[in-house]
Structure 1
Amino acid sequence: MEEMCLIIKEVGVQGRDGKIRVTFGRLFDRYVRISDKVVGILLRARKHGYLDFEGEMLWQGVHDNVIITLLE
């Protein structure tokens, strides 16, 4: 989960509120090279309060424009 947060910081964009955001599609393209368990890690990180996104599940292609927000 910590590695996921570091990648979001690296590829994401900081908003006016100071939070870093990235789309699922961009994150998937970057992170899939490291691990094929992207969605599972995202769900676990959300459960632990590291990040937030809408919906219960993310699917490549279908949810590429869903915004993932880093909360820490």
Structure 2
Amino acid sequence: MQPGVEELCLVIRNTGRTGDDGRVSVTFGQLFETYVTISNKVVGILLRARKHGLVRFEGEMLWQGKDDDVVITLLE
């Protein structure tokens, strides 16, 4: 797994909430605010993580402000 993707999954795990299905989820707005201090490449890393089947979210691209309520779910 790529280092940025691994770190992103850790941030989601640490800041998100566990749902009824046992999976951890966080909104894009919350993740962006938390992760932007680590890396300004959060969207690119999210797309790579989804490509590797590690996270799930609706839409092709996420935009700060517009997509702050989109839920990102950790699949692993």
Which bracket does the TM-score occupy, shorter chain normalised?
Answer: over 0.9
Residue 54 of structure 1 pairs with residue 62 of structure 2: no
Deviation string for 1:14-57 (max 9, x for gaps)?
00110000000000000000000000000000000000000000
- Counterpart CA distance in 1 for 2:9 and 2:42 is 12
Q: Structure 1: where are the runs of 5+ without partners?
A: none
Question: Quick one: which amino acid aligns to residue 50 of structure 2?
Answer: R
Structure 2 residue 31 is matched with structure 1 residue 27: yes
2:20 to 13, 16, 22: 16
Amino acid corresponding to residue 56 of structure 2 in structure 1: D
| RMSD after superposition | 0.3
Q: Distance in 2 between matches of 1:66 and 1:46?
A: 14
Unaligned 5+ runs, structure 2: none
For residues 12 and 20 of structure 1, the distance between their equivalents in structure 2, rounded to whole angstroms, comes to 6
SS at match of 2:69: coil
Count of residue pairs the alignment pairs up: 72
Structure 1: distance between partners of 2:75 and 2:14 = 15
| 2:9 is the counterpart of 1:5 | yes
